[in-house]
Amino acid sequence: MNDILLLKPGELVLKGQNRHFFEDRLRSNVARRLKSLGRFQITSVQSTVYVEPLEDDIDLDEAFRRCRQVFGIISLCRAAACEKDKDAILNTALRYLEPELRRAKSFKVESKRSDKRFPMTSIQLSQYVGGGIGEAFPDLPADMHDPDLVVHVEVRETAAYVHAGGVPGAGGLPVGTCGRAVSLLSGGIDSPVSTYMIARRGVQIIPVHFFSFPYTSELAKDKVLKLAKKLLPWCGRLTLEVIPFTHIQEEIRDKCPEEFFTLIMRRFMMRLAQSVAMANGCGALVTGENLGQVASQTMEAIRCTEAPLELPVLRPLIGFDKEQIIGIARQLDTFETSILPYEDCCTVFTPRHPRTKPKPEEVEEAEAVLDVEALCREALENTERIPIQ
């Protein structure tokens, strides 16, 4: 009896002639996540990805946990493989699911016969296996409407599989199937959530952080590194680009009207992030902006901050309530890290009375006293690149 993982893709099954591209990337992403655990055979047949361990000492519980964090999988389960024979299937169900059968208060059997050469129909197979379970567990009643346990039997091309049902996967699309984007990653609650949400749509992420030492401490930088590590299982490979922002903020403080400090700072962030994006073949920027949450996130302010850009800005949280964002952050285990009391550069030189409805021409005039090109070039030349492991 071989223990195996069955992964059910979600949206991939709706793809047309390029479906194989999504399936190939999904298998590749699963293989990368499991590589450190040992050798696996990973195949895709009939809208199911089969993950079979090739070594006896592999931690399949850990493999299952990691697969739950791979985007593109809508559900997954552990199953036992056996010969495509009715008695082999029944005996496998009795042995493999014995603990569940002893705990259950009622049961039923659901069968799927993908291999039409199998001599029994799905209903006949369910009746046969159900009858055998009833004989082995005479105190366990069958319930076709609301069973406590559903025994699943799948007869496929190469083998039959028995399992007790799946659990939800991460959903979405495999990372790397929908291009690349730069995500502005601060130390707050919102940006890790927005990064996760865009990665879930199949986007490979390059996180960028703006660091204003000594106004922000090394602890603030470490906090962002911790957030990036928490995102790593979901996003795949990550290299954090840390852009020094101190000189830019000091220039803004010394030469620009206070009411425009945050807006001009955001415009610099967008320009720098776009430069990183273009250097890495990215098609968009990602921010955690949320409409009306702070003064720089009004419609007028957003218009001003994105005005210097050529690339689109993806804002997955734009219409979320704060409690919704916090809920996702808790699920990702980023919330407690995000609320650590280490300030990021967004809180440096915060204006006392920021403009909430600025006009683009006003911001451009206030910014004109700065050598934008030279400041951006200096920051990019001193960028620190940190592989996340």
Is 83 among the domain residues?
A: yes
Give the CATH number for residue 121.
3.30.2130.30
Contact by Cβ (8 Å): 238, 388: yes
Same domain, 55 and 32: yes
Same domain, 132 and 232: no
Q: What is the pLDDT of residue 345?
A: 65
Owning domain of residue 349: 180-387
CA dihedral over 353, 341, 192, 346, signed as positive or negative: positive
Is 362 among the domain residues?
A: yes
Look at residues 145, 168, 191 and tell me which one is the last residue of a structural domain. Answer: 168
In one-letter notation, the amino acid at residue 284 is A
Same domain, 184 and 158: no
How far, CA to CA in Å, does 288 sit from each of 44, 65, 68?
35, 27, 24
In one-letter notation, the amino acid at residue 361 is E
Q: The tokens 């042995």 sit on which residue? A: 95
Q: What is the pLDDT of residue 347?
A: 67
Nearest to 200 by CA among 368, 36, 87, 314: 314
Q: What is the pLDDT of residue 346?
A: 66
| Tens digits of residue pLDDT in 311-323 | 999 999 999 999 9
Is 84 among the domain residues?
A: yes
Is 174 among the domain residues?
A: no
R_g (Cα) of the chain, nearest Å: 27
Q: What is the pLDDT of residue 18?
A: 82
Same domain, 184 and 86: no
Same domain, 161 and 189: no
Number of separate domains in the chain: 2
Look at residues 168, 202, 221 and tell me which one is the last residue of a structural domain. Answer: 168
Same domain, 272 and 325: yes
Helix (H/G/I), strand (E/B), else coil: 50: strand
Look at residues 124, 147, 168 and tell me which one is the last residue of a structural domain. Answer: 168
Nearest to 223 by CA among 246, 196, 192: 192
Q: For residues 355 and 376, give the distance between their C-alpha atoms in angstroms, rounded to a whole number.
A: 24
Same domain, 149 and 223: no
Q: What is the pLDDT of residue 216?
A: 85
Is 331 among the domain residues?
A: yes
Strand partners, 154: 112, 161
Same domain, 184 and 162: no
Same domain, 192 and 150: no
Q: Is the peptide bond before 341 cis (omega within 30 degrees of 0)?
A: no
Q: For residues 202 and 18, give the distance between their C-alpha atoms in angstroms, rounded to a whole number.
A: 15
Q: What is the pLDDT of residue 13?
A: 72
Which structure tokens are listed for 301? 């302010």
Same domain, 221 and 321: yes
How far, CA to CA in Å, does 286 sit from each of 186, 187, 241, 268, 306?
12, 15, 14, 15, 12
Is 123 among the domain residues?
A: yes
Is 175 among the domain residues?
A: no
Positions of the chain with pLDDT lower than 70, given as ranges: 1, 344-348
Give the CATH number for residue 308.
3.40.50.620
Q: Residues 324, 325, 326, CA angle at the centre, nearest 5°?
A: 90
* Segment holding 301, helix H or strand E: helix 299-306
| Strand 2-9 versus strand 73-82 pairing type | antiparallel
Kindly report the pTM of this predicted structure: 0.90
Same domain, 118 and 263: no
Same domain, 197 and 279: yes
Q: For residues 252 and 260, give the distance between their C-alpha atoms in angstroms, rounded to a whole number.
A: 9
